[in-house]
Amino acid sequence: MKTARLILDKDYVISEVDKRLYGSFIEHLGRAVYTGIYEPGHPATDQSGFREDVIRLVQKMNVPIVRYPGGNFVSGFRWEDSVGPVNERPRRLDLAWKTTETNAVGLHEFAAWAKKAHTEVMYAVNLGTRGPEDARNVVEYANHRGGSYWSDLRRKNGAEEPFNIRLWCLGNEMDGPWQMGAKTAYEYGRIANEAAKMMKWTDDSIEVVACGSSSTGMKTFGDWEYTVLGECYDNVDYVSLHRYYGNPHNDTQDFLASTMDLDNFIKTVASICDAVKGAKHAKKQVNLSLDEWNVWYHSSEQDQQLHKREPWGQALPLLEDVYNFEDALLVGLMLITMLKNADRVKIGCLAQLVNVIAPIMTRPGGGAWAQTIFYPMMQASTLGRGTSLLPILTCDKHDTKHFTDVPDVDAAAVMNDDGTVTIFAVNRNLTEGVTLECDLRAFGDMRVVSHSVLHHDDMKAVNTEEHPCEVLPADVPAPRKGEDIVLPAASWNVIRLEKARD
């Protein structure tokens, strides 16, 4: 069997892991909100119409923060439509997804849902069709205690206490021609700077995320980040990265190598932030918010048909990717890449959370279940908190269609606050298992307490409402002293170690 060698040391530290790395995203899109988290009349709903079966799954996945309400949707959104008496809220055409938005769920409802789901809100403001004035107004509405027009309106609308939203997105993908009110980098940089300033003058405890490029494939990628940050560096805390991968040509090896691209993307944007920092002689560091990431390609064709059949419909089943086992491996690899860059990536939002390119699926009037990608996300969010350690990994490498020198094994390690160490590892070798030799140096004598493996013989295996447990992680016997840790061919592994007792 092949061998991979992993060296970890207490003193080889990348960074503390910001718990917001394990965030997610809910957009007013498709069935994310309506018949996703909210379905009045469903047998599993609470008094407010929220599905408790979904809330339980969100809690199980341990999601610390949820970006809301968009996405492309936010660039035409009037936040005022989403507050006040529900029966007086306007129905609007959403040009982003060609659907009708009823505004039945808005800011108050979502804040209440987040509380129930044990998560926090990351709120995006509209810098597409609107501007800094509307952005600072919603900060005042959400966060100011009272005694001003907008904060008193919130109280009148039933929320005496502020929502205390700490993290705000300055628009969404403003470089994309598909975006309502798309802008050049300079136009956006200026407006983002003014919005950030006014939002922070309203509440100086908030943090804000400027839009980076919507993907590395944009012609303006790189130049966009440099120009935008040139205008707003002093007033922003993070710049966003969005990245989706697919396997449309059924080349699993190449697909699983995509995280080489993600790593490069992260390092490039971090370098651009630092170049602007240098040019400005600034002291502060702008970090990264990977606030949309996932696999996304399965549903593209069916969505085009749907839009033709039902323009301006409500709660259409859009972007409903059904994830298979290999997608779960890629999600695991993406999490590993984020952990290995935890010194710069502070926020991550798996896009999205329910029904829309999501780990959690629902059927209107029916069940809720976890897709394959739910499991690496849940395990990383639960066990990947603490300090990300620098993994020195030696293993065989291979080439794929688009990548060279792809390590067969990729791994990240987190020193948890209770002194245990958790290793997350993917064996990309599709045919052979690999023995993982761990040298834990200053940790002393450690023993494996558990080893969970996610593997399926069929790369295309999926979980469905009828068969929700087809692809599930399973504990394998922890190797005893002197025995090897084995990473099966094509597997996601979570290995926990603790100090050996005599």
List residues binding ligand AHR (CB under 6 A): 27, 70-72, 172-173, 214, 292, 351-352
Cβ 365 to ligand AHR shortest distance, Å? 25
Residue 366 and residue 465 in contact, taking contact as beta carbons nearer than 8 Å: yes
Separation in Å, CA 143 to CA 126, 135, 441: 17, 12, 48
What whole-number distance in Å separates Cα of residue 423 and Cα of residue 384?
9
Cβ 28 to ligand AHR shortest distance, Å? 10
Cβ 25 to ligand AHR shortest distance, Å? 7
Residue 391 and residue 426 in contact, taking contact as beta carbons nearer than 8 Å: no
Point out the residue whose Cβ comes nearest to ligand AHR: 71
Cβ 341 to ligand AHR shortest distance, Å? 21
Q: By C-beta, is 70 or 473 nearer to ligand AHR? A: 70
How large is the C-alpha radius of gyration of the chain?
A: 23
Q: By C-beta, is 97 or 150 nearer to ligand AHR? A: 97
What whole-number distance in Å separates Cα of residue 452 and Cα of residue 264?
29
Cβ 176 to ligand AHR shortest distance, Å? 7
Residue 96 and residue 76 in contact, taking contact as beta carbons nearer than 8 Å: yes
User: Residue 187 catalytic?
Assistant: no
What whole-number distance in Å separates Cα of residue 459 and Cα of residue 329?
9
What whole-number distance in Å separates Cα of residue 399 and Cα of residue 131?
47
Other beta carbons less than 10 A from residue 165's beta carbon: 20
Q: By C-beta, is 319 or 338 nearer to ligand AHR? A: 319
Residue 341 is classified by DSSP as T
Q: Which residues of 405-422 are buried (b: 16+ CB within 10 A; e: fewer)?
A: ebbbbbbbbbbbeeebbb
What whole-number distance in Å separates Cα of residue 58 and Cα of residue 464?
17
Q: By C-beta, is 151 or 214 nearer to ligand AHR? A: 214
What 3 state SS string does 125-153 have?
A: ECCCCCCHHHHHHHHHHHHCCCCCHHHHH
Cβ 212 to ligand AHR shortest distance, Å? 12
Bridge partners, residue 410, by sequence: 426
What whole-number distance in Å separates Cα of residue 67 and Cα of residue 122?
4
Q: By C-beta, is 350 or 406 nearer to ligand AHR? A: 350
User: Residue 27 catalytic?
Assistant: no
Cβ 501 to ligand AHR shortest distance, Å? 47
Q: Which of 80, 101, 109, 173 is catalytic?
A: 173
Strand pairing class (167-170; 207-210): parallel
Q: By C-beta, is 70 or 359 nearer to ligand AHR? A: 70
Six-digit token string for 172: 């969404």
Residue 359 and residue 370 in contact, taking contact as beta carbons nearer than 8 Å: yes
Name the packing angle between helices 223-232 and 259-280 (round to 10°).
Answer: 40
Q: By C-beta, is 122 or 440 nearer to ligand AHR? A: 122
Q: Which of 39, 194, 292, 326 is catalytic?
A: 292
Q: Which residues are catalytic?
A: 173, 292
